[in-house]
Structure formats: C-alpha cells, structure tokens
Amino acid sequence: MDRELLEKVKRHEISFHEVDKILDVHASIELRRTAISQLTGTIFDHISNYSMDVEVVTKRNIENMIGAIQMPLGVAGPLRVNGEYAGGDFYLPLATTEGALVASADRGCSVILASGGANVRIFKDEMTRAPVFNTKDIIGAKNLVDWVNANFERLKEKAKGTTRFGELLSIDAYTAGRNVYLRFAYDTKDAMGMNMVTIATDAAVDLILSENDVELVALSGNMCSDKKPAAINAILGRGKTVSADVHIDKKIIQEKLKTTPEKMADVNYRKNILGSARAGSIGLNAHAANIAAAMFIACGQDPAHVVEASNAITTMELTADGLYCSVTLPSLNVGTVGGGTRIGTQQECLKMLGVAGAGEPPGANSKKLAEIIAAAVLAGEISLVGALAARHLAKAHATLGR
C-alpha cells in the first residue's frame, strides 16, 4: 500500500474519489477502507468480503467504495401466480433483517397456493419526470401549456433521440401561479427507467427553452413524484399500476391462519381502511412496504422506491364460502435491466424468478417481476391480517424476531 498516499487521504489533501485516478479499482477500495479504519478506529473484518465484480459496480452503482454490506437472504414459496406475464409457481428471494417476515410471507404463499393462485394484472406502465418552469406571469404560464400541447409530437421525437427503448407517452401540465410543472410520462420497457426519462426529458426541455420565453428552474419539480409519499402517484400511478387478488375458502383460513373470514375482514376494515384514514395515510395496507423492500433489495431495485410501493390498498370482503382478498399497488417502480440488477447476487435472485435481463418482447420481464411482487405483497397482507385476527403477531415476533 502507498503509505504516503494513505496519509494524504487521511489529512484530506486528496479526496476519496481522487484516489481512483491514481490507483486501480481494487487498490483504491483497500486504501479508502484502511483510511476510514484508521480515522474511526474501526476494524473491518466483514465489509472487505464480497464476490461482486467491483470493476462493474464502481462504474455504475457506487462511488468511494470501501466494501460491501451483507444481508440475510431467505426464501418463501412456492407462490402461484396467474398473471399475464408471470404464470406458475415462484420461489421468492427476500432480503431482510426482520425476523418473522420470511416466515409470514411463506405462510401467505401457502394460503394462495392452496387457493389456486393469485390473479395479477397490470393496468398502467409509465415512468415520470416533471420539470418546473418559471414564466413571467400566468399569461406566460398558459402560453407555455398551450405550446406544449401543440408540440407534443416534436417533444416526443426529441426525447426519442436519447433512448433506444423509451417512448414518451404523454405530458400533463400543472400550474401554481406562474410556475408550470410538466409531468412527462414514458414507457421504459424492462428498465425501471429513472435515468432514461431524466435524460430524455432534459433533451425535450432544450426544445421548450429554445422556443419559449421561460426559465427552467429544475429538471425535477417534485410533481414526478420520485421517492416521496405523494397522492399523485397513488391516484395517477407511477411505474407499474398492478393489482392481485385471490378467493380463499373458509376452511383454508381456519386450517392455515387459525381464524375466520369474518375476523379477517373486520381487521382489514378497522385497521387498513379506517385506521389508515384516521392517520392520514396515503397507503391503506398492513405492511406492503415490508415485502416490497425485501424483494427490492434481493432483486437489485432502488430501495428508495419502496415509499411509492407503500401506496398499496388492501381489500378483504366476505363471500358466501370465504374471503375475497386483493391488493392494488398504484406505483410499483421496478426493472430487470440497469441499476442494481447487474450485481452478481441480485442477478441470481432475478434468475430464480426467471426475469433476469431484457424480456421478449421488450418490457415483458419487468412486467413479470411486477406481477410476482404484487402477488408476494398480497401473500404478506393475508398472513399479517390473519395473524392479527388470530392474535398471533406478538407470539410470532417473540419466537422468531426479538
């Protein structure tokens, strides 16, 4: 190790990222890790152990790398999915540190399997980016909106020049005084697509600025709305809008969940619907974010998009012979190419589900993944509501997750 370089890094004479210009990737990682170890007095016995291809991840996934974090990975299933893109039995990779979560998901999967599988359908597939413009006054704001509406095809062509697969579908305008927010919506095929739509929208903005007397304030004006709780995503959707449902026989509920359809319907109404409404929650569900987060981390998705996945609405209705259960996720942002999906461990999890890489036709794999995750969230909702109805939640956590 270059001791002189190490001391310069520790004295902040050379920044962490500048080390990459001096040493190869492996030596850079080791030097930064040693510097942090000495600066903080921490012995790193674990973060230095990993199998990922650092040549790849340091170019596309991480800066100033010093190692890798490990998370336990469990499996639940089989989960039977009756979707348009996902059909059959799937084993779910779930990365989590919460004891009892995988066991709960596994129980929900067994209920769905015994009930013939979960039906899943995707209703909308659009990724958004919404720049904000400043105009002279509301007359200028109206002129900008009118110009965008009249020139949509030109803007679409401009955006198309930046991507092989992305396609601009629509632009919706929202105003606040002289501020104009243009919500661009794209089909991004198998990519989750945030980078794709950002670059495409930036190109379209150049055309807007060249022909309008307006100022771009920011390429993202939060009407997208990315990685934040937002009613617009719950109402209009973002990423995949997907629903899953299943009819559960009364006997299955009694045998597997140790409760009754009546109690589960009551818990869902008073907890997920009334309780969430009283709390002012956007999502009306038991713990959709739990399953989404575990699947996201395992499959290389952006964990910050779990906040949008948590917009889910869970319904449970009594039927003549049991219980009808559904979950709708208006804004599920997932992809099977790009981002963290390239990392070796995440690639293996995607391969478990048969969705690694680009689909045929383009977009098929990301839709398949979305259907599987929606069914997995449904399994989690059924299991937790069942546990609450049977008063088993505290017992399960005392046994598995203390």
Q: How many Å apart are CA 285 and CA 327, to the nearest integer?
A: 8
Is 302 assigned a catalytic role? yes
> Of the listed 30, 202, 302, 348, which one is catalytic?
302
Kind of pairing, strands 167-176 and 322-332?
unpaired
Number of residues assigned to the chain: 402
Provide φ and ψ at 271, rounded to 5°: -90, -65
Longest CA span, the chain: 77
Q: How many Å apart are CA 309 and CA 134, to the nearest integer?
A: 31
Is 397 assigned a catalytic role? yes
Rounded (5°) CA angle 66-72-73: 115
Q: Using DSSP, state whether 369 is helix, strand or coil.
A: helix
Question: Is the peptide bond between 93 and the residue preceding it cis, with omega within 30 degrees of 0?
Answer: no
Q: How many Å apart are CA 212 and CA 210, to the nearest integer?
A: 6
User: Which strand (E) or helix (H) includes residue 124?
Assistant: strand 118-129
User: Under a CB-based contact definition with an 8 Å cutoff, are residues 205 and 80 in contact?
Assistant: no
> Of the listed 98, 167, 202, 249, which one is catalytic?
98
Q: How many Å apart are CA 374 and CA 191, to the nearest integer?
A: 18
- The catalytic site residues sit at 98, 302, 397
